[in-house]
Structures are given as structure tokens and as C-alpha cells.
Amino acid sequence: MHEMSVALSVVDQVEQAARARGALGVQHVHLDIGELAGVVSDSLRFCFGLACAGTLLEGSELVTRSVPGSARCAPCGRTWDTGMPPDMLCPDCRAAATELVAGRELRITEVRWAADTAAPGSPAQPATILEES
Amino acid sequence: MCRVVDLQQAVLAKNTMAAGILRSELTARGTTVVNLLSSPGSGKTALLERELTIARERAVPAAALTADLATENDAVRLSRSGVPVKQVLTDGLCHLEADMLAGHLHNWLPEDTRLLFVENVGNLVCPASYDLGETLRVVLASVTEGEDKPLKYPTAFGLAHLVIVTKADLAGPAEFDEAAFRAHVQQVNPGVEVVLSSVRSGQGAGLLVERALAAAEGAEVHAPVMAQARA
Ligand SMILES: Nc1nc2c(ncn2[C@@H]2O[C@H](COP(=O)(O)OP(=O)(O)O)[C@@H](O)[C@H]2O)c(=O)[nH]1
Ligand SMILES: [Mg+2]
Ligand SMILES: [Zn+2]
Ligand SMILES: [Zn+2]
């Protein structure tokens, strides 16, 4: 099951980040799932529960947000919701979209660590790890 | 009291990175990867049997790796072409990942391989999300699977560099509406090439080898809009 691979990957990444910060527990993990990412959120939530067992994330909640597909035609300067199934042709000129603005993301947007679990010396300010595919 | 951490990470970044490394390593040694995706039974193995034989006749050093949940049947079929073939049993996993592929190629892939064909696990959902380091991604659908297949699996068809309609010899009996199928492919992946093939009639024979060789020689490969996602 694909969602299991994704869940394991999320748990792995959050665990690494937790270790780097000395966090001992996780409350929730927020995930953006694009309409065109090919992931079923219910299935992913189920797998996430299984994948968390025995890890630092045990008992944490996965909060998912669905991101609609959106495409842009540069010549027309038009952006539209691609819908599902997606329409990658510009509604104005019927030419191919120049780019997909949103809809394929599968990314962790936020992790909320459990209360009072940060080790001394870990940053008091929210840290940001930026990494894009 | 909670700590909020903004952890902007692409979940599949690890695979994408491994795929990038594999692509540059293979390209550097002159090997181009072709990743074949379809539902079970669309005719991936049958197409490869024919194309591998053609590659061998044309003295193009080719190899094939075929992934299945179980059985080595496909490897047996492909081996008849005479090119090196490896069977990978995914043990229930429904797709291949780049690091798995890299592991299987290690100590197996002949040094002089020009074209490596990878038959992915029969599934049009998740293999679409996993880059394997391929230069050419080919999505297959047979004429019996319905004209709306591209709309039902938009991510798979939307990211294809080439679409092959298989079992074209059955188009008549299946009442396959080619124009409708093409329109649906164009809707999700404008500009992608769609070709018909039949291993029974010989239609489209050699086309896959030709497209793969062109890509290997640096010809421009179609850039799907869906792959032009904003960072
Ligand atoms: N009539 C016809 N049957 C085909 C063609 N290609 C494949 N098949 C049949 O479709 C079935 C599944 O093909 P296979 O190559 O195993 O599909 P795979 O699961 O995608 O590898 C087999 O019974 C093949 O003989 C074709 O071009 N024409
Ligand atoms: Mg097969
Ligand atoms: Zn899978
Ligand atoms: Zn336009």
C-alpha cells in the first residue's frame, strides 16, 4: 500500500527533526496533500496510526489539508482550478497550461511537539527546515 | 504549552533525491532508463518482449528489470529476447522506489547497457509518484480499458513522456474510441505523444526502442505540464 510508504516516510522525517531538537513527543503533524498527489487521506491517516506505533510519534494526530489543483496560462495571465479530473488546458485560449501552481504537494507543513518535551538548549523560536523537491 | 515547528518538507524528497543521483550516475556511464507504468494486464511484458528482441536485432545493448508482487513468469518471458533480465519481487509493495532500483542494479546491470527498461509493478496510482531516475516515462493502456482511463488516473497519464495504447488489434471488437481517448490524454497532459501498438498485428513495432534511443541521444523529451509544479 502506497499510503503506508508515505506514512513511514512522514514518521521518519518527523522523528529526525524531533531528535535534532531534543523533542520527546509529538502532538500533531500537519500535512498538505495536493489533489493530484495520488494519496488518499483517509487511508494515509489509518497508516499513520500504524506507522507511529513504538516511535516518538506514538499517539500523535495527523491533520491533513487537501490542496486543490490550480494551473496558470502565462500568455493569458489566467489561473484556474483544474478540477478533478484535471483540465490542463486554458479555459480562455485552450492552449496547454504553462505550469501547475498547486495540486501535487505532499508535504509536512507543521509539527507541534508535545508540551515541555524540548531539551534544554533547544531553540525557543520555531525553527524552519526548508527543503523542496 | 506547545512548540510549533514549521517543518516544510516534501515527503517524497528522499526518493526524488535518490532518483536524481541514480539518473546522473547512469547517464554518466551511458545508460538511459525507461520506466513503464500500467494497470496489471495492459501488456507491458508483451510489449517489452517485442521491443527487447528488436533492440537485440539492432545491436542496441539493452537490459530489463521487471517488478511483480509475486512469480518470476515475466522474467522468463522477457529472457527469451536474449537480453539480460532481472526479476524483482516486491514482497507486497505496490511500486518501485529509486533506492530499491539502485540496489537491484548494483552488481547486475551490464556495464555497456545503453537502454534499461523497467517494468514497474502493475498499478497506475503510486508508481506515478516515484521517480526512478528514468529519462523516459511510458504509460500504457490497452484498448479494452476504456477511453476515460486517463481521467481516472490523471497523475499517471499527466506525468507521462509517451503514452502507448496497447492491443490495438482489439480496437474494433472493443469499440475503442481513439479520438475520445486522445482528447482525454490531452486534457491531463497537453502535447504528449500517443501511439498505438499491437504485438499481434505488429503495429508500432520498434517505436519504443526508437523513442528510447532518441532520448538517450539527448533529443528533447516531452515536458508534461503537471511536472512543471511551482516550487
Ligand atoms: N490481443 C492482444 N493481446 C495482448 C497484446 N499485448 C498483450 N496481450 C495479452 O494481454 C495479456 C496481459 O499481457 P502482459 O504483457 O502480461 O501484461 P502486463 O501485466 O502489463 O505485463 C496477455 O494475455 C497478453 O497475451 C496485444 O497487443 N494484443
Ligand atoms: Mg508483466
Ligand atoms: Zn505503492
Ligand atoms: Zn490561455
Residue B27 located in a structural domain: yes
Angle subtended by helix axes A2-21 and A41-52, to nearest 10:
50
In this prediction the ipTM stands at 0.86
Assign residue B155 the CATH number of its domain.
3.40.50.300
Domain range for B122 is 7-218
Contact assignment for B225 to A98 by CB distance below 8 Å: yes
What pLDDT score does A129 carry?
Answer: 41
CB B117 within 8 Å of CB B62: yes
- Chain A residues within 8 A of B149 when measuring between CB atoms: none
Over residues A65-87, the mean pLDDT reads 97
- Taking the Cβ of residue A133 and every Cβ of chain B, the question of whether any pair is shorter than 8 Å is answered with yes
Residues of B with CB under 8 A from a CB of A: 1-14, 16, 93-95, 97, 125-126, 128-129, 150-152, 154-156, 158, 186-191, 225-226, 228-231
How many beta-carbon pairs below 8 A join chains A and B? 151
**Nearest Cα to Cα of residue B135 among B41, B47, B48, B219:** B219
Percent of chain B past pLDDT 90, that is, above it, reads 88
Residue B191 located in a structural domain: yes
Residue B209 located in a structural domain: yes
What pLDDT score does A122 carry?
Answer: 45
Pocket of ligand 1 (CB under 6 A): B 38, 40-46, 122, 166-167, 169-170, 198-200
Residue B146 to residue B148: CA distance in whole angstroms = 5
Residue B203 to residue A36: CA distance in whole angstroms = 33
> How many domains does one find in chain B?
1
What pLDDT score does B7 carry?
Answer: 59
Over residues A121-133, the mean pLDDT reads 40
Residue B229 located in a structural domain: no
**All residues at 6 or more sequence positions from A93 whose CB lies less than 8 Å from its CB, including other chains:** A73, A75, A76
What pLDDT score does A127 carry?
Answer: 40
pLDDT, tens digit, 9 for 90 and up, residues A28-72: 999 999 999 989 999 999 999 999 999 999 999 999 999 999 999
**Better-scored residue on pLDDT, B103 or A2:** B103
Strand segments (E) across B41-172 = 62-68, 85-89, 115-119, 136-142, 162-166
Reported pTM: 0.91
Residue B3 to residue A2: CA distance in whole angstroms = 30
Measure CA of the first residue to CA of the last residue in chain B; give whole Å. Answer: 33
CB A93 within 8 Å of CB A75: yes
